[in-house]
């Protein structure tokens, strides 16, 4: 589906509706460029674009089927970029990964979005209010999109951060809980998120170093800034990974302690009860000569002894930390 198709002349959007054919011809003129935005396009929708801009069939195939690694590839006269978008879905504690694929030529930029995250409409609106930036050509659009995608990593990262803190509290709380599954699922998300972002570091760095002609030198400093944010995301994810490994170990210790202390307490109760049972057993023996049995206060005395021993054991176990 073609979402929007616009021509920018000297940084300003040409008024009125523009169809693809207008775009093809208009963007050839100096200082002009076209930005055509698509959302999960079909092969047919892409066909005219492919022919007009002479796009490489491999890049086109990638754009239609998505599920690529983040990458930046150079074909003659064209740069092809794959970005992964991320959106945190809280109730499921899942990072949903989408994809934006960009074809960047001297006088055009084609954007293909898959999945829900990082809509490009606000990016377009923000850019259109800054003609100075748009004058730098499609490279400025590329920057704005990459910037947006990387900025959108932050809420996903924070969502994970909040969940990790929750899981920490769960692990170290006094409740009898075993959040091993939750820890594991979070780790899984962190790994997947990292796989979506880590391969981007190197291409963005190359953009920042100005290896590509379609990117105006003015824009390079901005890519450096994006790269910096990306590095922060990457470092944070590495740190999350390490933390989740540690917390899995800590959880095992907590669970072992909790479980064992329960068994210990129950055993202590059994031990305390066993003693009066033994004493009662003794006075339940049928020997003919057991002087205590004839004593008037034998019974209450023995009861007293039982209570005393139980009380003593209780205090002893308490002090030993067994109860």
Residues between 166 and 195 that touch a copy of itself (CB under 8 A) = 168, 171-172, 176, 178, 180-181, 183-184, 187-188, 191-192, 195
Q: Please, what is the minimum distance in Å from the beta carbon of residue 135 to a copy of itself?
A: 16
Question: Which C-beta is closer to a copy of itself: that of 295 or that of 315?
Answer: 295
DSSP-derived pairing of the beta strands 78-89 and 71-75: antiparallel
Q: Please, what is the minimum distance in Å from the beta carbon of residue 302 to a copy of itself?
A: 7
Q: Which residue in the set 47, 130, 151, 235 belongs to the binding site for a copy of itself (CB under 8 A)?
A: 235
32 binds a copy of itself (CB under 8 A): no
Q: What is the DSSP letter of 199?
A: G
Residues 53-72 that bind a copy of itself (CB under 8 A): 56, 58, 62, 68-69, 71
277 binds a copy of itself (CB under 8 A): yes
Site residue total, a copy of itself (CB under 8 A): 95
Q: Which residue in the set 25, 42, 48, 239 belongs to the binding site for a copy of itself (CB under 8 A)?
A: 239
142 binds a copy of itself (CB under 8 A): no
Please name the helix (run of DSSP H) or strand (run of DSSP E) that holds residue 129, with its range, or none.
Answer: none
282 binds a copy of itself (CB under 8 A): yes
314 binds a copy of itself (CB under 8 A): no
Q: Residue-wise over 48-69: b if at least 16 C-beta within 10 A, else e? A: ebbebbebbeebbebbbebebe
Q: What count of Cα atoms within 13 Å lies in the side-chain half-sphere of residue 274?
A: 7
26 SS3 class: helix
Q: Please, what is the minimum distance in Å from the beta carbon of residue 90 to a copy of itself?
A: 20
Question: Which C-beta is closer to a copy of itself: that of 1 or that of 278?
Answer: 278
DSSP per-residue codes, 71-82: EEEEETTEEEEE
Q: How far apart are CA 250 and CA 256, in angstroms?
A: 10
Please name the helix (run of DSSP H) or strand (run of DSSP E) that holds residue 97, with its range, or none.
Answer: strand 94-104
Nearest CA to 85 out of 72, 104, 101 is that of 101
């Amino acid at each position: 589906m073609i979402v929007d198709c616009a021509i920018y002349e000297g940084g300003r959007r040409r008024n009125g509706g523009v169809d693809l054919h207008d775009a093809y011809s208009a963007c050839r003129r100096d200082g002009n460029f076209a930005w055509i935005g698509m959302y999960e396009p079909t092969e047919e929708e892409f066909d005219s674009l492919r022919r007009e801009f002479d796009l490489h069939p491999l890049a086109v195939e990638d754009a239609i089927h998505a599920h690529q690694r983040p990458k930046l590839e150079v074909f003659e006269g064209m740069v092809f970029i794959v970005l992964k978008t991320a959106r945190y879905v809280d109730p499921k504690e899942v990072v949903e990964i989408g994809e934006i694929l960009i074809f960047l030529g001297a006088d055009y930029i084609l954007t293909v979005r898959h999945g829900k995250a990082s809509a490009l409409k606000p990016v377009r609106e923000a850019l259109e209010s800054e003609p100075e930036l748009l004058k730098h050509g499609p490279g400025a659009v590329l920057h704005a999109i990459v910037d947006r995608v990387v900025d959108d990593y932050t809420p996903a990262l924070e969502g994970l951060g909040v969940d990790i803190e929750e899981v920490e509290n769960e692990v170290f709380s006094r409740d009898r809980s075993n959040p091993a599954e939750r820890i594991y699922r979070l780790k899984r998300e962190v790994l997947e998120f990292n796989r979506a972002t880590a391969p981007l570091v190197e291409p963005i760095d190359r953009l920042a170093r100005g290896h590509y002609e379609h990117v105006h030198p003015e824009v390079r400093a901005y890519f450096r800034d994006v790269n910096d944010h990306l590095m922060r995301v990457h470092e944070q994810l590495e740190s999350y990974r390490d933390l989740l490994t540690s917390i899995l170990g800590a959880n095992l210790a907590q669970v072992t302690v909790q479980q064992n202390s329960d068994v210990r307490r129950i055993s202590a109760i059994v031990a305390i009860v066993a003693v009066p049972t033994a004493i009662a057993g003794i006075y339940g023996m049928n020997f003919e000569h057991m002087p205590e049995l004839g004593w008037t206060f034998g019974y209450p005395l023995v009861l007293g002894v039982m209570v005393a021993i139980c009380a003593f054991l209780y205090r002893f176990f308490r002090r030993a930390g067994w109860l």
